[in-house]
Structure 1
Amino acid sequence: MATVLVAGGTGEAGAAVVAELLGRGHDVRVLSRRGGSPIAGAQPAPADLISGSGLAEALTGVEVVVDTTDGKSRRARPVLTTGAANLLAAAGAAHVTRMVLLSIVNVDRGPLAYYRAKSEQERRYRDSGLDTRIVRATQFHSFVPMLCGPAAQVGLLPAFTDTAFQPIDVRDVARALADAADAPPDEPGRAGVPQIVGGPEILPMHDLVREWKRAAGVRGVVAPIRLPGGLGRFWRAGENLVPDHRDGTITFTQWLAERTAG
């Protein structure tokens, strides 16, 4: 089994990847600034992606890196660019044999600065010269509750009109990332070509919001709202969907039932 470093391993996707890799018998290190690990059996690897401090030590003896880092806020966004550059340079120096990156479906078409930063992260991986696998996923099951949660505090549950999502469970994404980590080398020229993984169902946002409201016992009015701007156009055009890739095995309904059980 390989020694695998999971960057961002304390986050939602990263923690699922750590659990999946441990279940496959790998030695797993969790890279984070504070050096914590959310799962017993994984080794903490404190390092700072922005400054590069600690990366050489964290990568010593590592064969595979899985990068699940995120940077939705402006302050955190350099993790996707400067952080990627530092991680790739350190991985090259440490003779890491495989890099795996979690990304977003159709990220190169996205209108937000966040999407541009993720696209730049992908580019840096493709241009690194290292054996790279990129896994692009649809939104996680937690995405719609995350959007609606703050507004629910004032009794409003926004449901963007003409908008659908294809939510996927992070455990399904983790399996795809672990499979990419374990895969044999591709044919020449194939490294860096994104693999697409999507959720098992495509559902209107209105349906997702209503189902979450019932399951979570949230009060509020489900309000149809037309989302303006580039992101609204992006979602209404279905650019966040991959109908030909219904790879997930856990539905939104099943995920909600797990979260509200007991």
Structure 2
Amino acid sequence: MVRIVVIGGTGLVGHHVVDECVRRGHQTRSISRHLPTHHSSRRVAGAEYIAADVTTGEGLTDALLESDVLIDVLDGRFGKGQRALDDGALNLLAAAREAGVRRAVVLSIVNADRAAFSYYRAKVRQEKIYQNSAVPSVIVRATQFHNLVAGVFDAGGKVGLLPVLKGAAFQPISVQDVAGALADAATHEPAPTGVINIGGPHVLAMAELARIYRDVTGTTSRQVNVPLPGALGKFFTSGDNLAPDSPVDGISFEDWLRHRAT
């Protein structure tokens, strides 16, 4: 049994990581700024929940005491959230050293260092803080989630359109499969480079993902090809968002959509 602390354990990824660690029989603690209610769908039976603030460091050392590994799945896409990734990593690692944590695992994005995009640059800064830390760290870089691709189609459907980014392909992965990879990184021998890439089971053109979405959801929205200019467009059309050599034999986009519909 490994004693694991999940930072951001009530978030989109975090509650799946907590669930996976508990399922594997690890002593699991979830750290978040606010505690979930006892009836929350993001509260996992068998896990311990503690409130602490990574941006100020308040309560972190006590929250990390008697733990072997921390898994950081905090997210911050805009403004203060991006800056909090830096502060959070520094505060977490200082508290981890003081508490005697033996390993850190942090979630990032495949080829984030190839994207001239503010959120991705923030994730790279976060990665470097972990890599330069005295606490041995593993970076798990994932491709885009099923939720992101479906979210683009969901948003377009509200105005009767199914937007397809011209020239883009995706390798979407389920949050559950990402959680499994993070739990593996917490307990298995780390990769020599300290970086693990993971992607979904299939690389698919966005037009093919749109076809799957239409078939599963029955939408009558009209497909439209749209250009995505700038740094973000270059990232997705160049294939830098993909990890074709590192597929996870997990939940496909189609199966994820069908489960979402039930």
What's the TM-score, normalizing by structure 1? 0.93
Distance 1:208 1:39 in 2: 32
Aligned to 1:231: 232
Distance 1:217 1:12 in 2: 26
1:35 is matched by which residue type in structure 2?
L
Distance 1:212 1:46 in 2: 39
Aligned to 2:126: 121
1:224 is matched by which residue type in structure 2?
N
SS at match of 1:99: strand
Contact 2:62–2:99 (CA under 8 A) maintained in structure 1: no
Aligned to 1:250: 251
| 2:77 equivalent to 1:72 | yes
Contact 2:104–2:135 (CA under 8 A) maintained in structure 1: yes
Residue 153 of structure 1: how far off its partner (Å): 1.5
Contact 2:171–2:201 (CA under 8 A) maintained in structure 1: yes
Distance 2:218 2:9 in 1: 31
| 2:104 equivalent to 1:99 | yes
| 2:7 equivalent to 1:11 | no
Q: Aligned to 2:175, which of 156, 170, 174? A: 170
Q: Which deviations, in whole Å up to 9, do the C-alpha atoms of 1:212-246 show, x marking residues without a partner?
A: 23323444222110111111111110000111111
Aligned to 1:25: 25
Residue 35 of structure 1: how far off its partner (Å): 2.1
Distance 1:125 1:258 in 2: 35
User: Sequence identity of aligned pairs in percent?
Assistant: 44
What's the TM-score, normalizing by structure 2? 0.93
Residue 75 of structure 1: how far off its partner (Å): 2.8
SS at match of 1:71: coil
Residue 94 of structure 1: how far off its partner (Å): 0.5
Aligned to 2:94: 89
2:183 is matched by which residue type in structure 1?
A
SS at match of 2:93: helix
SS at match of 1:195: strand
Residue 185 of structure 1: how far off its partner (Å): 6.1
Contact 1:126–1:132 (CA under 8 A) maintained in structure 2: yes
Aligned positions of 1:125-140 closer than 5 A? 125-140=130-145
Q: Which deviations, in whole Å up to 9, do the C-alpha atoms of 1:142-192 show, x marking residues without a partner?
A: 111122322321222211011000011122211111111112467xxx3x6
SS at match of 1:75: helix
Distance 2:43 2:151 in 1: 21
* Runs of at least 5 residues in structure 1 that lack an aligned partner in the other structure: none
* Runs of at least 5 residues in structure 2 that lack an aligned partner in the other structure: 37-41
SS at match of 1:51: coil
Contact 2:65–2:100 (CA under 8 A) maintained in structure 1: no
RMSD: 1.5
1:166 is matched by which residue type in structure 2?
Q
Q: How many matched pairs?
A: 257
SS at match of 1:224: strand
Contact 2:6–2:28 (CA under 8 A) maintained in structure 1: yes
Distance 2:147 2:32 in 1: 22
Q: Which deviations, in whole Å up to 9, do the C-alpha atoms of 1:105-132 show, x marking residues without a partner?
A: 0011112110010000000000011111
* Stretches of 4+ aligned residues off by more than 6 angstroms: none
Contact 1:50–1:78 (CA under 8 A) maintained in structure 2: no
SS at match of 1:83: helix
Distance 2:183 2:73 in 1: 12
